[in-house]
Structure 1
């Protein structure tokens, strides 16, 4: 009996000892792998948005439509290349599936065709629409319709703002995000490139006339021409700029306008500024036909095969090239992350993607070659 009592006392003392260890406030001996991992996940607000979506959204399918202003334009095709690259990257990264399609009129001048394409896209009830508008007024009610239908609407290059930078309060409630290139900056860079080319060719800024050509009047694109005018007025007030001639985005009409300018201005003509690639194509063709290289400067915007050939052959002095690939990439990237995370990852409604000046000094660099002729990697 005494041995049994002694055994019971020993068991009781051991039980008390373990109870005391369990109630100790020191957690150093506890497993530390689970709790810190959970804490890190809950405090990842400032990390990449994709970190929180891999497991939750993998396998989901999103329908996204690109409504382009022109299916025939090299520039809008470059935008689409960026869109497709982002789609490829994020399908692989997040494990989601993008049901992608493109629609739009053949030519930018077909405003009714664009609005109709946007209407049809909205009616198909996609998860997101990526688009650019050259006709703001008829697009605004369609943007509202898309917003009210719960569609993520992103603009690229040309949005709803009437100003160059755009006003985030200008119909900002109807779209999710806008990636663009400042048209005032384009105009200013074109003007400086013009002056640089004049200096290189030994042309005085004391006098002379510059022809001004653009595809169409547009509240946003007008800043591209006004930025050029304002810069020249400040830096070279002795130069005269013609009224802007518009060609409805037809290179043949642009060529005819350039030929008329060459004939009308005569010996006073020191060059031509063409505000978009289709316009510049016509200008380059006119200069090539007249064999005008020496004593004349020409500056274009955006890039295509005609412009690049003219630059290499000396009929074009420089091209102001927008990074169309990056604009398209960011536009699609933002749409995907907005859909996956349920909120826009950007902190501002509009993001500027600056252009670059392309001339014979840098045209063959790897960066410029990709910017002018992007491809899906």
Structure 2
């Protein structure tokens, strides 16, 4: 009997001990939360903070919300980008779709009454012909407003005239157009951003040395702004520095031809064509030249290069790959955008700095600008969607993490 009571007593003691430990753990957890002064964020709260951080970069601030935009039921908005598969363009699409979702929620539209936005872009980034074809198709749908990131500033003039004749308001985003009928431009301040890159490059190189400029295209006004302002800052204010280039990646056929001529040791004579045998050999050599060969050629032509400025994500990563392939790891590389590859390279210290634009905010503000056009509310001529200078030193900061690109 005594043995049985001992067992019962032991069980009671164990239960009390377990309960006490559990209560203590709960107290410690509660105490820890109180000491930290904040509760753990939910995924939804974190996403909402990141969204608001991007919208807060937009100036004027009115383009970061949908207040007062009472669009009609079933309104159709069209947005045409320069591409569709890259993270940058996907993030613009996500921002536009979220703006429309906010509009439908604000106005209580459901089902077929919902406002609609369609984002379209060439399968291959910067394909002028495909973008013009998409523009033709979208104009046939008579959207309430149409926004476009123009690849070639002269390629869409006929379509823009047609849009104006049919009362379709035009907005540009990412890349400004020079068409007179544009109602608003939603984009990064590329002049300011590229000048800031030049300033950081000067600091990194000690205000001396050669910088190579590699641009993603020669046609868009965005690329021209980035190139021209970067070069102007170096040439006008830093006499101990020099600039090589710019090398335009939409002119690679010319670069390939030069490389092939050097490989074959044939020199073109002005006013004369190569004979048939030479031309055949030249064509065969050109066909074998890769993008990697082009970047290697640029580095070989500039053996004293100390820094490289690249105007978008692709050119930034290709420049980095070429430098690493030639064991030129001391070359300071700075560029634009924030695809995952670039983020990883920056965390490793292989990219010194980059301008991170606000594509989510750009997509959102573009829808707001379109809505204002459809409602005849008037627009600001220029809507600045902001940017952030990101380096290996600040990339882990919460304020920076909130504005890095995220696909939806």
Residue 265, structure 1, aligned to residue 302, structure 2: yes
Q: Give the corresponding residue for 1:209.
A: 210
SS at match of 1:209: strand
Q: Give the corresponding residue for 1:41.
A: none
Q: CA deviation at 1:350?
A: 1.8
Alpha carbons 1:273, 1:298 under 8 Å: kept? yes
Q: Give the corresponding residue for 1:330.
A: 365
> What whole-Å deviation, never above 9, does each CA across 1:303-355 have from its counterpart, x for those lacking one?
2122112212222110111111111111112222433xx21343x32222332
Distance in 1 (CA, whole Å) between partners of 2:296 and 2:211 is: 13
Residue 222, structure 1, aligned to residue 254, structure 2: no
SS at match of 2:115: strand
> What whole-Å deviation, never above 9, does each CA across 1:21-55 have from its counterpart, x for those lacking one?
xxxxxxxxxxxxxxxxxxxxxxxxxx99977666x
Change (3 A) 1:134 1:143: same
Residue 75, structure 1, aligned to residue 112, structure 2: no
Distance in 1 (CA, whole Å) between partners of 2:291 and 2:88 is: 17
Alpha carbons 1:215, 1:249 under 8 Å: kept? no
Distance in 1 (CA, whole Å) between partners of 2:169 and 2:191 is: 28
Residue 191, structure 1, aligned to residue 198, structure 2: yes
Residue 176, structure 1, aligned to residue 183, structure 2: yes
Task: Map 1:287-302 to 2 at 5 A.
Answer: 287-294=323-330, 296-302=331-337
TM-score normalised by length of structure 2: 0.69
Structure 1 runs (4+) greater than 6 angstroms displaced: 47-51
> What whole-Å deviation, never above 9, does each CA across 1:195-230 have from its counterpart, x for those lacking one?
2333xxxxx434x22111111102512121111111
Q: Give the corresponding residue for 1:364.
A: 396
Change (3 A) 1:275 1:51: closer
Q: CA deviation at 1:369?
A: 2.2
Alpha carbons 2:175, 2:220 under 8 Å: kept? no
Long gaps (5+) in structure 2: 1-61, 253-288
Task: Map 1:272-351 to 2 at 5 A.
Answer: 272-294=308-330, 296-339=331-374, 342-346=375-379, 348-351=380-383
Alpha carbons 2:96, 2:364 under 8 Å: kept? yes
Q: CA deviation at 1:153?
A: 2.2
Larger radius of gyration, structure 1 or 2?
1
RMSD between aligned alpha carbons?
Answer: 2.5
Change (3 A) 1:253 1:193: farther
- Number of residue-to-residue matches in the alignment: 305
Long gaps (5+) in structure 1: 1-46, 162-170, 199-203
Q: Give the corresponding residue for 1:373.
A: 405
Question: Which structure ranks higher in relative contact order (CA pairs < 8 Å, sequence separation ≥ 6)?
Answer: 2
SS at match of 1:212: strand
TM-score normalised by length of structure 1: 0.74
> What whole-Å deviation, never above 9, does each CA across 1:87-125 have from its counterpart, x for those lacking one?
111111123422232223112332111001001100122
Alpha carbons 1:90, 1:333 under 8 Å: kept? no
